[in-house]
Amino acid sequence: MLNQIRPALVLTVTLTLLLGVAYPLAITGVSQAALPYQANGSRIERDGTVIGSTLIGQNFTGPTYFWPRPSATGPDPYNAAASSGSNYGPTDKRLVDRVAEASQQLGGQNIPADAVTTSASGLDPDITPANAQMQVARVAQARGIEAGRLEELIASMTQLPVLGIFGEPRVNVLALNLALDELAPEAR
């Protein structure tokens, strides 16, 4: 029996060191060398303070900012600890009612789908250019800025599909709102 325990322990320790220490350290080293911004969470800093990440949405609710798509994380929007979609099917009355209510709050006609539906994770940081364009009049009025300048800002902040074919055009809401603050600071 001892002749079986020793090889089992050696294998366990070896695999633990290899897969639990060496491999993670190697992957961390490669990611830090090749893609340090992404490896560290794609954090956005202002004056040396981390204010967010381009990977996780934030809840902007005031009229002076562009709003993200709805969050499915319950009473605490964009809570990463509660990440999940709504899990409502397309015929679920709760989903239909929620979308109808959100559509009415936004004017009821020609509302982009991402303005009234959550993403699969409930934390999506991006909106479609159409969603951003829909909000231009509100933000322009609240900031006292010409709508044309906001449309130019949206166009400059729009990220195209990866390699031209993967994904859809999108606008990162946090990056857009930070650029908006630079373009037209809020009146304080």
| Residue-wise pLDDT tens digits, 32-54 | 999 998 888 888 888 889 988 88
Alpha helix stretches (DSSP H) within 42-128: 93-105
Closest to 69 in 3D by CA, of 86, 52, 81, 87:
86
Rounded to whole angstroms, the Cα distance separating 1 from 6 reads 9
Select the more confidently predicted residue: 87 or 151: 151
Rounded to whole angstroms, the Cα distance separating 69 from 78 reads 10
Q: pTM value?
A: 0.78
HSE at residue 65, side-chain half, CA atoms within 13 A, is 17
Beta bridge partners of 162: 166
- Give the largest CA-CA distance in the chain: 82
In the three-class reduction of DSSP (H, G, I as helix; E, B as strand; rest coil), residue 46 is classed as: strand
Work out the pLDDT band at 70, boundaries 50, 70, 90.
confident
DSSP conformational letter for 56: B
Mean pLDDT of the chain: 87
In the three-class reduction of DSSP (H, G, I as helix; E, B as strand; rest coil), residue 81 is classed as: helix
Give 99-151 pLDDT, tens digit per residue: 887 888 787 778 888 878 887 777 889 999 999 999 999 999 999 999 999 99
Rounded to whole angstroms, the Cα distance separating 140 from 150 reads 7
pLDDT, residue 188, reads 43
